[in-house]
C-alpha cells in the first residue's frame, strides 16, 4: 500500500473544510466563518493590504470563533452588542498558540473583539499591539451578524451601514468603517454575502495556503481538532485522544506498519469530528436522550464521513475513522456495511472506540475495570458485532492498552484544564 503518495493534503482545503464544520452545529449560523472571511478580505483589499497579510487575515477569519463550544455561546455572540466576548477568543487563542501551522494567526484570533476605542483599545492589561487583521475581522464579523440570511439582501444595506457607523471610533477603526461605506455602494458586495458557494468564491481569490501537509503536520492538525471536538464537553473531554492511542497501539499489535499506525492515530483523533455538528447541550445531557436527540447524536458519524470526505487525500483516514459505528453483522450505522466490506483499520477503530468508551472515567460514572470490561468485549466479539480476532488481541493486551490510554488521556486532561484557566483570565480581562 503506497499510503503517503496518495495523501497529498493541502492546508487550504483542510482550513476551508474545518471552517465550514465549525458552523455545522447551528443551521441558522451556517457559513458564518467563510462569510466573515469574504467580508474581511473585501475590506482588506479596499485598504490596499498586501497579499501576505490578506492570506493571514483569511486564515484567522476562517477559524476565528473556534473557541466557541456551545450553542448557547454561539447564540450569545450573535447579538450585535456583546457582553463578554473574551472567553471564546481566549479559548481559541489557547487552542492554537502552540501549533506551528496556526501559531501566526493565534494573536488575531485572540484580539478579534478588541474595541478600537480611539486607537487605544488593548486586550486586558497587556500593551500588546493589536494586529490590523483583528480589527478587520471584528468589523467583518459584526457586519455578518447583522445580516439576515433569509431576507432579501440589498434592502439591508442602509440599516447595516447605520448600525456600523454608530459604533465608529468606539468599536471600530473609522478608516475601516469608511472602507466598508465605500464597498457597500456596490451591489456585488452584498450579493457575495448571500452567495451559497462561498468556498468557490474564496478559492478564486487566491487566499488559500498552498502548503502541502506532511505526516507530522497532519498529526498536529488532527491533535488540534481532537481538542476542539472533545473540549466542548467535559463528559468526553479526552475521548478522541484515548481512541487514538488505543487504535494505534492495537494496529501495531495487529501487524500494521509504523506509517499505518501513525495514520491510525490520526484517524482516531478525527473519528468523532462529526460531533461538531451536535449541540453540546445534547453531548452533555445528564439524563437519557429522547428519540429526536438520539437521532441528532447518531448523525455525528455521518458528518464525520462527509467532513473527511471533502478533503482530498484523507480517503484512507476517513475509511478507518468514519466506520467505527458499523458492525461486523451489518447492524451498525449509518451505512450498514458488514464484515465483508469493513477494512481492518475500521474494525480496529470500532474495537478501540468501544474499549476506550467503556473503560474511561466520565464525570457521572467510573470506567469499567478489567473484570467487567473483558466479558463485555468478548460477548461483542462472539455475537459478531465487533471483529472476533481484534477483540481477542485487545483482551490479551488489555492491561497494556489501558495503561497507555490512561497515560495519554492524563496528559490531554492537563491541557483541557488549562483552557478552564483561560475562562477565568478572560472573564477578569473583560
Ligand atoms: Fe467571535
Ligand atoms: Fe464570529
Ligand atoms: Fe462515534
Tens of pLDDT, residue by residue over 71-81, are: 778 888 888 88
Q: Does the pLDDT value for residue 95 go beyond 50?
A: yes
Q: How far apart are CA 296 and CA 377, in angstroms?
A: 26
Nearest C-alpha neighbor of 113 from the set 147, 144, 90, 94: 90
How large is the C-alpha radius of gyration of the chain? Answer: 23
Q: How far is CA 252 from CA 220, 249, 380, in A?
A: 21, 5, 22
Tens of pLDDT, residue by residue over 134-191, are: 999 999 999 999 999 999 999 999 999 999 999 999 999 999 999 999 999 999 999 9
pLDDT > 90: percent of the chain: 73
Q: How far apart are CA 421 and CA 417, in angstroms?
A: 7
Q: Whole-model pTM? A: 0.91
The model's confidence at residue 86, banded by pLDDT at 50, 70 and 90, is confident
Q: Are strands 9-10 and 212-213 parallel, antiparallel or unpaired?
A: antiparallel
Q: Which listed ligand is nearest to 272 at the C-alpha? A: 3
What CATH number belongs to 10-210?
1.10.3210.10
| Cβ atoms of 59 and 209 closer than 8 Å | yes
How far does the centroid of ligand 1 lie from the alpha carbon of residue 85, in Å?
7
What CATH number belongs to 214-421?
1.10.3210.10
Look at the block and give the residue holding cell 472602507.
179
How far does the centroid of ligand 3 lie from the alpha carbon of residue 18, in Å?
18
Q: Does the pLDDT value for residue 430 go beyond 60?
A: no
How far does the centroid of ligand 1 lie from the alpha carbon of residue 157, in Å?
22
How far does the centroid of ligand 3 lie from the alpha carbon of residue 275, in Å?
8
Q: For the chain, give every domain's residue range.
A: 10-210, 214-421
Q: Which residues have CB less than 5 Å away from ligand 1 (the ion)?
A: 65
How far does the centroid of ligand 1 lie from the alpha carbon of residue 84, in Å?
10
How far does the centroid of ligand 3 lie from the alpha carbon of residue 304, in Å?
9
pLDDT at 266: 98
How far does the centroid of ligand 1 lie from the alpha carbon of residue 110, in Å?
9
Cβ contacts of 118 within 8 Å, gap of 6 or more: 169, 170
How far does the centroid of ligand 1 lie from the alpha carbon of residue 241, in Å?
27
Tens of pLDDT, residue by residue over 200-212, are: 899 889 999 889 9
Q: How far apart are CA 99 and CA 227, in angstroms?
A: 12
Q: Which listed ligand is nearest to 230 at the C-alpha? A: 3
Q: Which listed ligand is nearest to 89 at the C-alpha? A: 1
- Mean of the per-residue pLDDT values of the chain: 91
How far does the centroid of ligand 3 lie from the alpha carbon of residue 113, in Å?
34
Q: Which listed ligand is nearest to 332 at the C-alpha? A: 3
Q: Are domains 10-210 and 214-421 of this chain identical in fold?
A: yes
Tens of pLDDT, residue by residue over 342-372, are: 999 999 999 999 999 999 988 778 899 999 9
Q: Which residues have CB less than 5 Å away from ligand 2 (the ion)?
A: 65, 141
Q: Which listed ligand is nearest to 110 at the C-alpha? A: 1
Q: Does the pLDDT value for residue 325 go beyond 80?
A: yes
pLDDT at 72: 79
Q: Containing H/E element for 9?
A: strand 9-10
Q: Which listed ligand is nearest to 85 at the C-alpha? A: 1
Amino acid at each position: 500500500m503506497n499510503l503517503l503518495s496518495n495523501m497529498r493534503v493541502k492546508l487550504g482545503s483542510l482550513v476551508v473544510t474545518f471552517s465550514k464544520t465549525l458552523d455545522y452545529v447551528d443551521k441558522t449560523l451556517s457559513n458564518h466563518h467563510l462569510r466573515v472571511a469574504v467580508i474581511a478580505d473585501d475590506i482588506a483589499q479596499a485598504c490596499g493590504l498586501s497579499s501576505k497579510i490578506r492570506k493571514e487575515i483569511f486564515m484567522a477569519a476562517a477559524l476565528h470563533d473556534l473557541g466557541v463550544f456551545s450553542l448557547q455561546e454561539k447564540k450569545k455572540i450573535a447579538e450585535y452588542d456583546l457582553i463578554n466576548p473574551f472567553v471564546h477568543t481566549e479559548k481559541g487563542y489557547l487552542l492554537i498558540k502552540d501549533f506551528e501551522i496556526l501559531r501566526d494567526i493565534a494573536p488575531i484570533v485572540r484580539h478579534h473583539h478588541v474595541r478600537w476605542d480611539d486607537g487605544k483599545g488593548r486586550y486586558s492589561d497587556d500593551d500588546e499591539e493589536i494586529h490590523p487583521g483583528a480589527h478587520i475581522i471584528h468589523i467583518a464579523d459584526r457586519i455578518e451578524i447583522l445580516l439576515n440570511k433569509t431576507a432579501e439582501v440589498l434592502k439591508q444595506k442602509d440599516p447595516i451601514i447605520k448600525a456600523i457607523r454608530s459604533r465608529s471610533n468606539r468599536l471600530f477603526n473609522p478608516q475601516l468603517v469608511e472602507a466598508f461605506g465605500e464597498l457597500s455602494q456596490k451591489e456585488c458586495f452584498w450579493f457575495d454575502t448571500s452567495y451559497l458557494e462561498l468556498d468557490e468564491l474564496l478559492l478564486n481569490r487566491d487566499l488559500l495556503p498552498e502548503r502541502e501537509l506532511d505526516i507530522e503536520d497532519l498529526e498536529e492538525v488532527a491533535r488540534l481538532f481532537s481538542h476542539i471536538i472533545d473540549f466542548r464537553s467535559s463528559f468526553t473531554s479526552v475521548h478522541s485522544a484515548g481512541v487514538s492511542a488505543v487504535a494505534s497501539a492495537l494496529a501495531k499489535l495487529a501487524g500494521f506498519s509504523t506509517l499505518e499506525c501513525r495514520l491510525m492515530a490520526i484517524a482516531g483523533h478525527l473519528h468523532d469530528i462529526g460531533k461538531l455538528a451536535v449541540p453540546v447541550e445534547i453531548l452533555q445531557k445528564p439524563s437519557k436522550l429522547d428519540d429526536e436527540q438520539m437521532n441528532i447524536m447518531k448523525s455525528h458519524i455521518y458528518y464525520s464521513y462527509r467532513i473527511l470526505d471533502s478533503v482530498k487525500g484523507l480517503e484512507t483516514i476517513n475509511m478507518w475513522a468514519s466506520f467505527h459505528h458499523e458492525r461486523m453483522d451489518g447492524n451498525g450505522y449509518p451505512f450498514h456495511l458488514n464484515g465483508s466490506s469493513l477494512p481492518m483499520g475500521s474494525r480496529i477503530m470500532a474495537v478501540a472506540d468501544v474499549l476506550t468508551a467503556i473503560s474511561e472515567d466520565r464525570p457521572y460514572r467510573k470506567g469499567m475495570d478489567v473484570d467487567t470490561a473483558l466479558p463485555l468485549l468478548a460477548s461483542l466479539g462472539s455475537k459478531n458485532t465487533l471483529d472476533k480476532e481484534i477483540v481477542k488481541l485487545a483482551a490479551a493486551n488489555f492491561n497494556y492498552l489501558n495503561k497507555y490510554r490512561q497515560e495519554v488521556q492524563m496528559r490531554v486532561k492537563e491541557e483541557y484544564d488549562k483552557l478552564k484557566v483561560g475562562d477565568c483570565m478572560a472573564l477578569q480581562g473583560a
